[in-house]
Amino acid sequence: MNPIKDRVIVFDVGGTKTTYGTVENAVISNFKKVNSDIINKKGVDFFTEIIDNTEGGISGIIIGVPAVVDNNGKILSAPNLKSIERHNLKDLLKEKYSVPVFITRDVNLQLFGEYSTFYKDDYSNALGIFIGTGLGASVIINKKIFTGINGAAVEIGHVKYPAGNNIKCNCGKTDCIELYSSGMALDRYIKNYKEETGKDITKEFFFSCDDKDLDKYKKLFFDSLVFSVSTLVNLFDPGLVIIGGGVINADKFPFDKLVDLIKSDLRKPLPLENTDFRLSQLNYESNIIGGYYFFKSINL
Ligand SMILES: [Zn+2]
């Protein structure tokens, strides 16, 4: 048996932080976390330098990106990470290293890591909603990630929010939902709040701060998020909904309130009565494990 058959390198590229590590038999080693700015500086060289320095050989490369990736591995649109847009990372890495290369949306790694670790024996379908720098979603149907024909399925963050305020998105459209419910949205709300009131708060206190001047921003955040999640649950009837990401996993986020609001917008009696909502338990390292399982699920 080839000793490196089960050894892969996984990159999880986020809008703010990027992590990577080698995974063998579902165990991670050499885990690193860096600021994503380094990718904007180095571009493709960021990946090749790390792979070149990985000792012991690898049998596959998996990269999760906050972007739309076509089925040929070309990164079509990365509104929050422009330096890797339009590159065909897959062809480039495949040619250089002669191993299978999978490039997919970062949220697919997040959902698959969580699902494979905790839920795969009890559920065949799942919806993942992740609120970090942007807003991303992913769907598992019959134990596999549903990528769509073009790798662009379930891109809820760039669906138009009907009650928006005519704000332009980095993707070129206006009023994409992630402009209203994401880490980027919180930054804008806090900036506007400071301009209006002179008061300064950090993102960590946005949800716990009791100032009524913040209420309109909290309402925009929750209304748009509830609109997106309840729409996806009504469409897919997944049975299991995992919600996570930096904003949601922060200490003071009112997760129970969010779930109640989503439930009040679900179709009754189903899917409402048969949908479980879970807070994401995983962390950066587990997304890397998710990449490993994703690789194995495609490679079977
Ligand atoms: Zn957009």
The alpha carbon of 201 and the centre of ligand 1 are apart by a number of angstroms equal to: 26
Q: pTM of this prediction?
A: 0.86
Query: Is a pLDDT exceeding 70 seen at residue 1?
Result: no
Regarding whether 291 and 274 lie in a shared domain, the answer is no
Regarding whether 291 and 272 lie in a shared domain, the answer is no
Regarding whether 129 and 229 lie in a shared domain, the answer is yes
Tell me the residue range of the domain where 288 lies. Answer: 7-108+284-299
Regarding whether 275 and 143 lie in a shared domain, the answer is yes
Span 22-47, pLDDT tens digits: 999 989 999 999 999 998 888 889 99
The alpha carbon of 244 and the centre of ligand 1 are apart by a number of angstroms equal to: 20
Q: Answer yes or no: are the C-beta atoms of 169 and 158 closer than 8 Å.
A: yes
Query: Is a pLDDT exceeding 90 seen at residue 81?
Result: no
Query: Is a pLDDT exceeding 80 seen at residue 206?
Result: yes
The alpha carbon of 54 and the centre of ligand 1 are apart by a number of angstroms equal to: 36
Query: 9-13, 77-81, 179-183, 272-276: which has the minimum mean pLDDT?
Result: 77-81
Regarding whether 250 and 295 lie in a shared domain, the answer is no
The alpha carbon of 85 and the centre of ligand 1 are apart by a number of angstroms equal to: 15
Regarding whether 87 and 152 lie in a shared domain, the answer is no
Look at residue 80 in the predicted model and tell me its pLDDT: 64
Task: Count how many domains the chain has.
Answer: 2
- Residue 86 falls inside a structural domain: yes
Q: Where residue 21 falls among pLDDT bands split at 50, 70, 90? A: very high
Mean pLDDT for the stretch of residues 250-258:
91
- Residue 17 falls inside a structural domain: yes
Span 223-234, pLDDT tens digits: 999 999 999 999
Look at residue 147 in the predicted model and tell me its pLDDT: 85
Regarding whether 172 and 47 lie in a shared domain, the answer is no
What is d(CA 115, CA 107) in angstroms, rounded to the nearest whole number?
A: 12
- Residue 116 falls inside a structural domain: no
Regarding whether 39 and 74 lie in a shared domain, the answer is yes
Regarding whether 273 and 159 lie in a shared domain, the answer is yes
- Residue 237 falls inside a structural domain: yes
Token pair in block for residue 171: 């993707």
Alpha carbon distances (Å) from 130 to 64, 98, 244: 14, 33, 5
The alpha carbon of 152 and the centre of ligand 1 are apart by a number of angstroms equal to: 13
- Residue 114 falls inside a structural domain: no
Q: Where residue 171 falls among pLDDT bands split at 50, 70, 90? A: confident
Look at residue 299 in the predicted model and tell me its pLDDT: 57
Ion ligand 1: protein residues whose beta carbon lies under 5 Å? 158, 169, 171, 173, 176
